[in-house]
Amino acid sequence: MPDPDRLAALRDTVAIVGVGETDYPADYARARRGERYQDAYGYAAIAFRRALNDCGLSRNQIDGLIAGPSLAGERLGEVLGMDVRWADQADAVQAMLKAAMAIHTGVAECVALVYGNDQRTGGTAYGGPNAMGGDRHLAYTYYAPWGLTSQGALYALLANRYLAITGLTERDLGQVALAQRAFAGLNPNAVMREPLTMDDYLAGRYICEPLRLYDYCLVNDGGVALIVTTVERARALNRPAVLLRGIGRSDHNREATSLRPRLEQFYRPAQRQAAEQVYAMAGLGPSDVDVLQVYDSFSIHVPLALEGFGFCADAAKLLNSGDLGPGGRLPVNTSGGHLSGSYMQGWGHQVECVRQLREEAGDRQIPGARTAQYISDVAGKVTSLIYGVRP
């Protein structure tokens, strides 16, 4: 059974001190021109160099390395010229949790979390007979004889039922895309910055009905890196430290391929478990959150997260209130998210939490942001992290 006291002992002991990202719009433009400028390791390395510069640590002070997809840890260490005491591989869901555990146990003191992806120029397939992730999520490929494939189609099935049950409309869902595009317009490092209207959204072609083009994430190249260390070490760096205040995790895989938890429960039991844990550890609740980042491979993730984590009972009202966009009470995906900012598979969302809490987010800065929450639910694998700064 979870011991809240053990978890709470980890609160505010680990800090993010450095962040780095690549130049998403420039790299997207290159890709559109057919140029291959970097591979996944190259993007990762550029982001890592920027994260090091950001925190002021030198490379030889980093003693832990976590390689994110689509990188192999051994090769990443070679590319970055790093020998470390401890190394691991993790997606965004697990990376911060693993880094915190490694630092807490003492196997590493300064951990670099490094992600790179050349999914656009490398032509990663997210649907079809060999869809990425089909080895872990059988449903991405198993129903190929009937033409059912892709994470998007599975969320379209979910949306079909969710809309019918909740009364949420396609127009309501469009508010997610509009709000995030409005934030992207304020972020010079977002890929899609031109304004999006409801008419534009509704005129967008269906990919898998009821999900349209603007309900889907981008597919672009890039890299993200974060440097995480002890709060004591962070203090000595003379940089604003962002503290990890809460961790929630839940992993529901029973009957995953049959889609029962997806279509009958919308993954709510998994979300509830993760929510209880993250809020208990942080000693906070949804009303304390100043900035929310939601893993958004599809727009539908946002209402699911808002309801599943207790921000509202009925997402339609909140989506239409304007509160999720610039100037609203509960700003969501303030960099533009995966839909309009950059599809870095949840890694960019961590960086955005840091930038908002450091008040370095420029035109999209949420004034006085002290608490930022990240929520990720991909196919029943739920994580939430709460970050904060000392008042």
Partner 1 sequence: MNLFDEPYWQYAEAGELRLQQCVACASFRYPPAPICPECLTEEHDWAALSGQGSLLAWTVFHRQYFPDIPVPYLVGAVVTAEGPILIGNIVGLPAADLTHGMPMSAVFPPSTGSRRLCQWTSRSSLEHRT
The residues of the shown chain that bind partner 1, judged by CB under 8 A, are: 127-129, 138, 142-150, 153, 156-158, 160-161, 164-165, 205-210, 254-255, 257-260, 263-264
Tell the smallest beta-carbon distance from residue 346 to partner 1 (Å): 24
The DSSP annotation for 327-374 comes to: TSSS-B-TT-IIIII---TTHHHHHHHHHHHTT--GGG--TT--EEEE
- C-alpha span between 335 and 2 (Å, rounded): 34
- Return the HEC string of 273-331: HHHHHHHHHHCCCHHHCCEEEECCCECCHHHHHHHHCCCCCCHHHHHHCCCCCCCCCCC
- C-alpha span between 366 and 359 (Å, rounded): 8
Compare residues 68 and 210 and give the one whose CB is closer to partner 1. 210
Compare residues 51 and 163 and give the one whose CB is closer to partner 1. 163
- C-alpha span between 3 and 251 (Å, rounded): 18
Compare residues 207 and 231 and give the one whose CB is closer to partner 1. 207
Tell the smallest beta-carbon distance from residue 211 to partner 1 (Å): 8
Compare residues 174 and 246 and give the one whose CB is closer to partner 1. 174
Tell the smallest beta-carbon distance from residue 324 to partner 1 (Å): 25
Compare residues 97 and 259 and give the one whose CB is closer to partner 1. 259
| Cβ atoms of 99 and 347 closer than 8 Å | no
Compare residues 127 and 348 and give the one whose CB is closer to partner 1. 127
Tell the smallest beta-carbon distance from residue 230 to partner 1 (Å): 41
Tell the smallest beta-carbon distance from residue 257 to partner 1 (Å): 5
Token duo for residue 284: 């906070």
Tell the smallest beta-carbon distance from residue 127 to partner 1 (Å): 4
For tokens 């391929």, name the residue: 257
Is 212 strand, coil or helix? strand
In total, the chain counts a number of residues equal to: 391
